[in-house]
Amino acid sequence: MAIRIGRNGSLFFGQLALSLMQSLFMFSYVKVFLNIYHISQYWFSIGQVFFMIWNAINDPIFGYLQDFGSNWMRHRNRVFLIFGPLLVISFLSLWFPWSTDEKSSTLQGCHLIFSLFFYDAFYSCLSVAWGALFADSSNNHRKRVQGMKYSQLAILISVNVIGLADKVSNNLTNFSNFQNVTIVVGFLSIIFLYFTGIGESNSILNYRKNGCELHIKDDESQSMSLKEIIKLSKQILKAKDFQIITLTSFLHNCRSVAHLNFLSIALDLLIPKTIFSETSWKRPLFVILIALGPQIIIILSEKLVVHYGTYRTMMFSFVISILSSIFYLFWSSPRVILIFMVIDAITVHSFAPLFNILLSEFIADDARRYSRSKYLSSFVFSINSLLMKPAQSISPIIIVSYLNSSGYQKYITKVLTQTSPDFVNLKYSMAIILFFTPFLIGLIQYFVFKRYSIQHNTTINKDSILLKI
């Protein structure tokens, strides 16, 4: 009997697979390469710079191919079938070290560059396909919010892997157990990517144009010349709303990367062992709370997002981010820090999925403005990724450099301990990063996003929005 996967099911399983791998990647790779593989700051920075350049190349390529390339590349679901196994292999390559020699980190640097290049290439390809699948699924704001709800449900399930990996590996002390977790994650991801690959495909895109309903088939897409691609890119890049979405998204990604990559390190430095002992479940449960809380909130707030619109919801999150920084006045209390971490996680991760809705709104608006024959979903998502992805490299470079200037390199090599007098400086530096990142970024986002013009304020229907796979 054939398995039938609907539109929301395709979005759900695709997001579940991508989020399983990306959650573990974002939460662990910086600490693994610094603490387990003993990569030097020099090679870490070199790897991040190359990674940033590679990001600038691969996203537009995949965006072009998935909108104007061969027929199979324009088939959103088929991309998951073909590239899914390659993504899983590249994901697993991160967690098996080429070397752990503390005296020379050349091999570790090459390992970082190689794995980041291949993982990001295939992840970018599939994430662009997923974004296009989301945008193409409907031009109705309510249905987009429903699709976002499915996405968050997938993330809600997948983020549990962070706490599980942290507990099973005893905060990476037992690294072989962590490697076993990554293998299980890879196996499950292949299955879920397959489900997306065989799921319902939106081969016909519908949108209103001059009062008439157009039906555009996938095979009507034509290859474009370089001149036409440049012209198309300029039209998108010059759009004020796209600039606002991209800048706001870039800043949000900087904050999200900082939060995910350095949450474990912040817990190590700021929370005493008397609160989170190594043998206790308290720390893994807190990490799970940090991961689950935002997803539960966005799932439960579907009607509010539909009612107030994406714009007002985003503005509210920026205000909360700014105001929450007042907790810095009480940073010497570990419990206050834990409360702030929960609030910070909510303001970062609960509202991140709304950027998919913003881009979908822009794609529909762009198609109407320029009388396009089809939605340029992959192309727009890839250009957005091109401008947003450098945040994944910039944030770790800045934060690692700042922490190392305060003695973090000495801390991971046991030269500096928590009983040393200089440890206070390292602890204070981590607190500065923790509290001032949301304040500064939230403040900039608030004033930038105020100029956004594609706003929805849809009155909610009395009927509940049902989940249907």
Give the pLDDT band (50/70/90) at residue 111. very high
Pairing of strands 204-209, 212-217: antiparallel
Segment 133-163, tens digit of pLDDT: 776 665 666 666 777 777 778 888 888 888 8
Q: Which of 76, 146, 193 is nearest to 353 (CA)?
A: 146
Residue 226 tokens read as 């370089």
Please calculate the CA angle 314-300-283 and round it to the nearest 5 degrees. Answer: 90
> Which residue stretches of 271-328 are H helix?
282-300, 302-324
Residue 432 tokens read as 């500065």
The reported pLDDT for the residue numbered 64 is 65
| DSSP 3-state of 213 | strand
Beta-bridge partners for 214: 207
Q: How distant, in Å, are the alpha carbons of 50, 133, 195, 239, 417 from that of 2?
A: 44, 22, 11, 44, 59
Average pLDDT, the chain: 80
CA–CA gap between residue 376 and residue 73 (Å, rounded)? 14
Segment 237-275, tens digit of pLDDT: 888 999 999 999 999 988 888 887 788 888 888 888 888
Of 18-32, 89-103, 380-394, 454-468, the one with minimum mean pLDDT is: 454-468
CA–CA gap between residue 383 and residue 60 (Å, rounded)? 6
Of 20-24, 83-87, 162-166, the one with minimum mean pLDDT is: 162-166
E strand segments, 118-188? none
Segment 341-397, tens digit of pLDDT: 999 888 888 787 788 788 888 888 888 888 877 777 777 877 887 788 778 778 888
CATH for the 7-205+223-449 domain, from 1.20.1250.20, 2.30.290.10, 1.20.120.80, 3.40.50.1860: 1.20.1250.20
DSSP string across 21-81 = HHHHHHHHHHHIIIIIS---HHHHHHHHHHHHHHHHHHHHHHHHHHHHS-HHHH-HHHHHH
Which amino acid does the sequence have at 213? E
Segment 382-437, tens digit of pLDDT: 788 778 877 877 888 888 889 888 888 888 877 777 778 888 888 999 999 999 98
Torsion of CA 16, 19, 21, 22, to 10 degrees: 170
The proportion of the chain whose per-residue pLDDT surpasses 90, expressed as a percent, equals 17
Q: What is the rounded average pLDDT of the residues 48-57? A: 81
Length of the chain: 469
Is the Cβ–Cβ distance between 168 and 177 less than 8 Å?
Answer: yes
Find tokens 């690959």 and name the residue: 197
The reported pLDDT for the residue numbered 373 is 74
CA–CA gap between residue 300 and residue 303 (Å, rounded)? 8
**What is the phi-psi region of residue 211: left when phi exceeds 0, alpha when psi lies from -120 to 50, beta otherwise?**
left
The reported pLDDT for the residue numbered 463 is 37
Residue 70 pLDDT > 80, yes or no? no
Q: How distant, in Å, are the alpha carbons of 299, 321, 401 from that of 436?
A: 28, 10, 17
The reported pLDDT for the residue numbered 212 is 40
Is the Cβ–Cβ distance between 294 and 350 less than 8 Å?
Answer: yes
Q: Which of 258, 248, 245 is nearest to 392 (CA)?
A: 258
With b for 16 or more beta-carbon neighbours within 10 A and e for fewer, the 405-430 pattern comes to: ebbbbbbbeeebeeeeeebeebbebb
The proportion of the chain whose per-residue pLDDT surpasses 70, expressed as a percent, equals 84
| DSSP 3-state of 255 | helix
Which amino acid does the sequence have at 194? Y
Q: DSSP label at 452?
A: -
* Residue with the larger pLDDT of the pair 350 and 109: 109
